[in-house]
Structure 1
Amino acid sequence: MSSDGRIDDASARLRARGLRVTPQRRAILSAFTGAATEHLSADEVHARAAAAVPEVGRGTVYAALAELTELGLLAAVGNPEPVRYETNVDAHQHFRCRVCLRLYDVALDAPPTAALKRRGFVVEHTTVTAEGICADCAAYDRGLSDGAARSDGVRAAAGATIALPRGTAYGVADTPIGRVQMLCTERGALRVMYADHAEGPAVAAAGARRRGAREAQRRLAELDTAIDGYFAHGTPFAQELAVDWDAAATDPDDGATLDAIRAIPFARERSYEQLGLSDAPFDRGVSIGSNPLALVVPCHRVSRGREITTWYVGGPERKRALREHERQHAER
């Protein structure tokens, strides 16, 4: 839309963004006249577009508005979230996190309004809302990165061996998303990791040197059966599946975080701040980023607010495959 208020040719603007010019898209973009006061709702756009193309539906309008906004042909103004209420009734400003959608009370300078007054506007109050990524979500993301680095085999890359508890049993399971290595002690699962993980060779070398105690072998068989059931039939891992938290977790906070993730229902997701934990977001990210129990601890179900991060201990492709696998089984 030109600065003098005249609308540019809709067809040319669509072509410039590599979009096919359809009557619906042209009618939707042409619904805007360029007036300074014009900020249309989706229903208003639909009403104007339908005057030119009567068969255009509301669903088409909503989809096109999202598409045109993403491509920079339109801008979205306003917050689609419902009204929020708070006990702080004094005048103040807010920060809205676009990731987790939480609102924070903040102190911001009010914008200057003298220019508006000179134009004849009567300013009664101003509302300032900053938007971006909150400190918690940023810290959690840094934690994920640090946790992934911790898990990524710095020790293995340096040629160090991995010390395993006495009696640990080792096994492998072939799955649709790659071979999985399993370690179990007499108390439960110690490690479940993809064989192409940086520490995979060191884990294989340490595990292959031992048969494992009888109870550890039984735990290993239970784990192998659970993995097979998950992929073959979409059977969720039972909460009762034993985990040796003392040996698996680097520190107590890791164990609490990872155990909370096990409570996320099959084919569902939960944001990191909704796990009911008291640890700092950064520490939570480190725990999840270094998850030593892939599949058993379904960290692929943890989101950062409404954002599904690409991070996963087995890589983004495996994360997408697991989410699709669970979605398909949940729909049956």
Structure 2
Amino acid sequence: MQETANILKDHGIRPSLQRACVYRYLRGVKTHPTVDEIYSALLPEYPSLSRTTVYNTLELLITNDLAISLDFGDGFLRYDADCTPHSHFKCKGCGKVFDVMLPPPDCSQMIPAGFTLMGTSLYMFGLCDKCACKVAD
């Protein structure tokens, strides 16, 4: 927990117990959880935790470059503590989101003169290997 607290401090975030547990959880999973999934996972160990605290902590992590939010257009955001350039693949069968370690495309030549590109995102959709096998059967 001390390592997590130090990372939060290094990014200008006061490391409360709730903030540290949310960030530690997010760093430890690769499922790109929603607010509700994070809240449900942490509630048994931290019964005083609220959804609002989880949401506010995630917003703080995003503002301080410790997390990103992913919007696949299905009505809720997913979160990722991996802020390195990479893409995401969402399975239309099971709904899982996978990291694709392919850097987002360089779009700097495509934007109008005078614009400043600050980032890109690439979302891919299809069927994961398990769901594709079910369709083939």
Q: TM-score, normalised by structure 1?
A: 0.22
The structure in which a higher percent of residues are helix is: 1
Bigger RCO of structures 1 and 2 (CA < 8 A, at least 6 apart): 2
Q: Which has the larger radius of gyration?
A: 1
Q: TM-score, normalised by structure 2?
A: 0.48
